[in-house]
Chain A
Amino acid sequence: MDVLLREVRRRTDGTVEFHDTEFAGEVLTIGSGVGQGIQLLGLAVAAAHARIASSPAGISIACSRGKTVNLNGGETKAAALSVGDVITLASHRLQLIEAPTGFDLALEIEVDHDIDPSEYEGAFQTDLRQTWLRKRPAAWALILLTVVVFIVAPLVVVTLRSHGNVVPASIPGDGLWSSGPLSMAHQQATGSNCSACHRVMFERVRDVDCLGCHRNVADHVPEGHLALTKFGDKPRCATCHREHQEPVSHLIVADNSGCTGCHAQSPAAFGSLKVGSASAFSAAGHPEFKVHLLKPAASTPADSMDAEWKPEVSGLAGAVENSRLVFSHQQHLDAARVIRNSDSEPLDCTDCHAPDVDGKGFRPVTMKDSCVSCHELTFDPAEPTRQLPHGKSREVVIALQEYFARMFVDPDARRPATVERRRIPGRTDAESRCAGPPAACARQATTREVETQFAVRGCITCHQVIDTRSRDIVERFQVVPVRLTSDFLPNAHFRHSSHRIQGALTGSAACLSCHDAGKSRRTEDLLIPGIGKCLTCHGDQPGGIGGSLSAAASKPVNPGTSVRLGCAGCHGYHPT
């Protein structure tokens, strides 16, 4: 399309000037913007206001959206044009005139140059407000995005899933509401299905939903007991177990307040339950330990074989061990008196007390593991490899019977030289010899040896032996069974292995710093330390020493670095 643009300028003296320019292009644009085919200024003129185009059907004008031009006196948005038409736009005037040869269109343009200078700025976009930047639509878009993605979509997904529909994982579901990752086990167990635990919206996770899986968890306090106290409902699972905190929390709130909430109260609050109050791990805030000791029930004779043993809780002070063993720690630890068989060194604690597998406590002390290396059960010096069985008095007698029977019946078996060379102390040779028939000699020797072993220097060394005076040698002696307490403080977890090194103290020294075994002469001595011992290193405040324990009373191993100990450090909540 070739267009002749004829600008008309009327001078004040009445003369008219024409300025012709040519335009060649598909579309002739009109507007106030730069680069428009015809640039017309004014507030009413948009940057790109209208376009004049040529088609086989003829010339036509079309305005941009929302704009109009005045065509022959009437506002129009789009129209076909013919020669003679007058277009007015703001105060500018365009008229189609007869196109000269070679042109498709000729326009006579009268530009109104008398626009106000302030309108001149209006021809340009000089403020961000005039650009596509918008605050309100942007805000609405963001609101919409937030609501759709974080409320509507999850709700839809949840609803669909609850009706058994499968929703692809790529669509954001209520996982967007999760406040943090689950613990592995829960994640595995629930399959990341929020409603596995969060069953009812706006309701906190219910215990029944926990107990659905955790069937074997016992209550801290049975309902019946709780009813005796003045406390209200039992705490929720989630009071202590906080999910969505992985990997930092291990699901348990390590906070004393959960415990002290009840336990710090005066015993009266516990109603008829006898519970000491504990508010902190300190001398003042925590009661002295109470040991659980095995004691024969009062109903049965104390020293009888069939005494009924029952655990009994008692205060630490004056508590007496009832193991029925005869043992002096002091003697065993006295290097002048006892040395190790293998290397002739003094004994270590671990020579007898071997840590158990989990390092928490110790394997039970047994004859076989702890004593026999020194206390061999030989009876005949001539046959040092021959040992009596341990633990079963009847078998001991039978073994001796067999031994002596064989010795006297089978002359080859004897080794008189040895017998002769060595005699039983306190006996005359004549007594040790037997001139009777072999069977009688054997019986005599057996009887003598049994009496020696049970009552003189064998079992009696460590055990209490009852002489029934029975004729039957087999039945005559009974060894009182040993009842060793495996855990004096069963309600507290104490990990011995983590206390084997205490500052500069290691090995037996570390053990002895708590257990005063070096001075214990009696079996009855209870070597369990009191709370004061713990408090030398522990407190319930980090970096300080717990409670009112004065520094003078007991010096910490490493002053100023005591280890914080919460309730859960020693105590479990759920009974096992």
Chain B
Amino acid sequence: MIHESLLKYRNARFLWQALALMVLSIGLYLTQGGVRVPSGGTWQGYILGTIGALLIVWLALLGVRKRAYASSLGTVQGWTSAHVYLGSALLLVATLHSAGQFGWNVHTFAYVLMCLVILSGFVGVYAYASIPQWISENHAGGNRPELFSELFALNRQLQLLAVKSEAAIQLAVTSSIERTAIGGDVAAQLFGRDRSRFIRSGTASSGSEAVLSGNEDQQQIIDFVAARLPRADKAAEVPNLHELVLFLCRRQSVLRRIRRDIRLRAWLQLWLYVHVPLSVALLVALVVHILTTFMYW
């Protein structure tokens, strides 16, 4: 492929720049070693802190650059690549700035926020580097609208077939379609929990009550219909039931792909729900940190 991942962007030029920054910061830090107590208050500490603050502001500017669509200031990919590497370097720069002096104060609060942002960023890098492949493999050339179209078409065909079947089957199949759960709340999307149901009722002869029963992964409805096959009242029903089982299995397969797609996409996006709000909070905490530093100078 001619495409370049953001980690390898331009031979990972920002990796080298980030490493250079890190070496520089360590060197700067070491100049206070032995003589002065390393802290954020030495001139080296001020320089490290200024670098860190500028880095944070610049890293946050990715959000602006990303939306400055007509901007010709580098590509967003370049920015993101630099964002990843320089963001990682920030972890070291800020730690050196703090010189390991932590406490229950706004300064450490900002530091912890920054660490959380960077760590969530690491999660994001991993997610961006690996999940798209899994999504792509799961799609097998299609995309989500196509999967839903296929599911929708299967629903229609199943409903048409169900109409021709006896009432219990019809109710079971129709209800299994209507009560198919896809996605849902956060946990359901992330862990693919399936709360599908269907209405199970007896045949006309047994006459048992209709009950709402679980239908995880559509297996129960398949079993239910398959169980009817050898007990079919009329020979004419058999081909129809065969067909039904076949379509239900196809539907199961499509549903699995959809659920996996939802799950993967949810994981792909989840980190941003941590990264972005924390980044914003970090910016504010950074301002407070600087403000209070000079408030009680």
- Direct interface between A and B, CB < 8 A: yes
Residue contact A34 to B179, C-beta cutoff 8 Å:
yes
The answer, yes or no, to whether B180 is at the interface (CB within 8 Å) is yes
The answer, yes or no, to whether B84 is at the interface (CB within 8 Å) is no
**What is the CA–CA distance of A113 and B171 in the complex, to the nearest angstrom?**
17
Q: Which residue of A lies closest to B275 (CB)?
A: A135
Residues of A contacting B291 with CB < 8 Å? 151
**What is the CA–CA distance of A39 and B199 in the complex, to the nearest angstrom?**
14
Interface of chain B residues 95 through 130 with chain A (CB within 8 A): 101, 103-107, 109
Contact A179 B179, CB 8 Å, known A117-B148, A132-B185, A542-B34: no
Q: Which residue of A lies closest to B148 (CB)?
A: A121
Residues of A contacting B145 with CB < 8 Å? 117-118, 121
Residue contact A179 to B185, C-beta cutoff 8 Å:
no
Residue contact B186 to A133, C-beta cutoff 8 Å:
yes
Residue contact A34 to B195, C-beta cutoff 8 Å:
yes
Q: Mark B266-296, 1 if CB is under 8 A from A, else 0.
A: 1001101100111011001100100111111
Which of the 9-residue segments A95-103, A196-204, A293-301 touches chain B?
A196-204
The answer, yes or no, to whether B297 is at the interface (CB within 8 Å) is yes
Count of A-B contacts with CB under 8 A? 169
Contact of B284 among A129, A134, A143, A256 (CB under 8 A): A143
Contact A179 B293, CB 8 Å, known A21-B171, A133-B273, A245-B37: yes
The answer, yes or no, to whether A266 is at the interface (CB within 8 Å) is no
**What is the CA–CA distance of A120 and B155 in the complex, to the nearest angstrom?**
11
Instruction: Jot down 17 A-B pairs with beta carbons below 8 A, ordered by A.
Output: A21-B171, A34-B179, A34-B195, A113-B159, A121-B144, A121-B148, A128-B265, A133-B186, A142-B278, A143-B284, A147-B288, A150-B109, A176-B104, A176-B109, A180-B39, A198-B297, A256-B35
Contact A179 B105, CB 8 Å, known A146-B281, A146-B284: yes
Residues of B contacting A132 with CB < 8 Å? 185-186
**What is the CA–CA distance of A153 and B17 in the complex, to the nearest angstrom?**
41
The answer, yes or no, to whether A178 is at the interface (CB within 8 Å) is yes
**What is the CA–CA distance of A178 and B39 in the complex, to the nearest angstrom?**
13
Residue contact B107 to A135, C-beta cutoff 8 Å:
no
Q: Mark A173-194, 1 if CB is under 8 A from B, else 0.
A: 0111111110000000000001
Give the dominant DSSP class at B's interface.
Answer: helix
Residues of B contacting A178 with CB < 8 Å? 103, 105, 296
Contact A39 B179, CB 8 Å, known A128-B270, A128-B273, A564-B34: yes
**What is the CA–CA distance of A522 and B43 in the complex, to the nearest angstrom?**
54
3 smallest beta-carbon distances between A and B, as pairs: A142-B281, A138-B277, A139-B280
Residues of A contacting B181 with CB < 8 Å? 34-35, 124
**What is the CA–CA distance of A136 and B63 in the complex, to the nearest angstrom?**
13
Residues of B contacting A249 with CB < 8 Å? 37
**What is the CA–CA distance of A138 and B184 in the complex, to the nearest angstrom?**
20
Residue contact B186 to A143, C-beta cutoff 8 Å:
no
Residues of B contacting A121 with CB < 8 Å? 144-145, 148
Residue contact B189 to A128, C-beta cutoff 8 Å:
yes
Contact A120 B151, CB 8 Å, known A138-B273, A147-B284: yes
Residue contact B105 to A126, C-beta cutoff 8 Å:
no
**What is the CA–CA distance of A134 and B272 in the complex, to the nearest angstrom?**
10
Q: Which residue of B lies closest to A122 (CB)?
A: B148
Residue contact B41 to A179, C-beta cutoff 8 Å:
yes
Q: Chain B's nearest CB lies how many Å from the CB of A143?
A: 5
The answer, yes or no, to whether B77 is at the interface (CB within 8 Å) is no
**What is the CA–CA distance of A460 and B252 in the complex, to the nearest angstrom?**
121
The answer, yes or no, to whether A383 is at the interface (CB within 8 Å) is no
The answer, yes or no, to whether A125 is at the interface (CB within 8 Å) is yes
Q: Chain B's nearest CB lies how many Å from the CB of A473?
A: 67
**What is the CA–CA distance of A121 and B258 in the complex, to the nearest angstrom?**
10
Contact of A176 among B105, B281, B294 (CB under 8 A): B105
The answer, yes or no, to whether A268 is at the interface (CB within 8 Å) is no
**What is the CA–CA distance of A198 and B296 in the complex, to the nearest angstrom?**
6
Residue contact A242 to B183, C-beta cutoff 8 Å:
no
Residue contact A202 to B105, C-beta cutoff 8 Å:
no
Residue contact A174 to B296, C-beta cutoff 8 Å:
yes
**What is the CA–CA distance of A175 and B103 in the complex, to the nearest angstrom?**
10
Residue contact B107 to A179, C-beta cutoff 8 Å:
yes
Residues of A contacting B180 with CB < 8 Å? 34
Residues of A contacting B288 with CB < 8 Å? 146-147, 150-151
Interface of chain B residues 150 through 170 with chain A (CB within 8 A): 151-153, 155-156, 159
Residues of A contacting B294 with CB < 8 Å? 202
Q: Which residue of B lies closest to A150 (CB)?
A: B106
Residue contact A143 to B281, C-beta cutoff 8 Å:
yes
Residue contact B103 to A117, C-beta cutoff 8 Å:
no
**What is the CA–CA distance of A198 and B293 in the complex, to the nearest angstrom?**
11
Residue contact B185 to A120, C-beta cutoff 8 Å:
no
Excluding A142-B281, A177-B292, A254-B37, 6 further A-B contacts by CB distance (< 8 Å) are A34-B196, A128-B186, A132-B186, A139-B276, A146-B109, A201-B296
Residues of B contacting A455 with CB < 8 Å? none
Contact A202 B284, CB 8 Å, known A21-B171, A126-B183, A135-B276: no
Contact of A175 among B101, B105, B178, B184 (CB under 8 A): B105
Q: Which residue of B lies closest to A130 (CB)?
A: B183
Residues of B contacting A26 with CB < 8 Å? none
**What is the CA–CA distance of A355 and B93 in the complex, to the nearest angstrom?**
50
The answer, yes or no, to whether A566 is at the interface (CB within 8 Å) is yes
Contact of A126 among B155, B197, B262, B273 (CB under 8 A): B262
Q: Chain B's nearest CB lies how many Å from the CB of A134?
A: 8
Contact of B183 among A125, A134, A135 (CB under 8 A): A125
Residue contact B152 to A117, C-beta cutoff 8 Å:
yes
Residue contact A131 to B189, C-beta cutoff 8 Å:
yes
The answer, yes or no, to whether A253 is at the interface (CB within 8 Å) is yes
Contact of A120 among B148, B186, B195 (CB under 8 A): B148
**What is the CA–CA distance of A426 and B169 in the complex, to the nearest angstrom?**
149
The answer, yes or no, to whether B36 is at the interface (CB within 8 Å) is yes
The answer, yes or no, to whether A334 is at the interface (CB within 8 Å) is no
The answer, yes or no, to whether B182 is at the interface (CB within 8 Å) is yes
Contact A113 B281, CB 8 Å, known A34-B181, A255-B35: no
Residues of A contacting B292 with CB < 8 Å? 150-151, 176-177
Residue contact B273 to A177, C-beta cutoff 8 Å:
no
Residue contact A139 to B277, C-beta cutoff 8 Å:
yes
The answer, yes or no, to whether B149 is at the interface (CB within 8 Å) is yes
Residue contact B185 to A245, C-beta cutoff 8 Å:
no
**What is the CA–CA distance of A52 and B284 in the complex, to the nearest angstrom?**
47
Q: Chain A's nearest CB lies how many Å from the CB of B247?
A: 16
Residues of B contacting A542 with CB < 8 Å? 34
Residue contact B186 to A131, C-beta cutoff 8 Å:
yes
The answer, yes or no, to whether A343 is at the interface (CB within 8 Å) is no
Residues of A contacting B87 with CB < 8 Å? none
**What is the CA–CA distance of A254 and B171 in the complex, to the nearest angstrom?**
86
Q: Mark B46-87, 1 if CB is under 8 A from A, else 0.
A: 000000000000000000000000000000000000000000
**What is the CA–CA distance of A175 and B105 in the complex, to the nearest angstrom?**
7
The answer, yes or no, to whether A205 is at the interface (CB within 8 Å) is yes
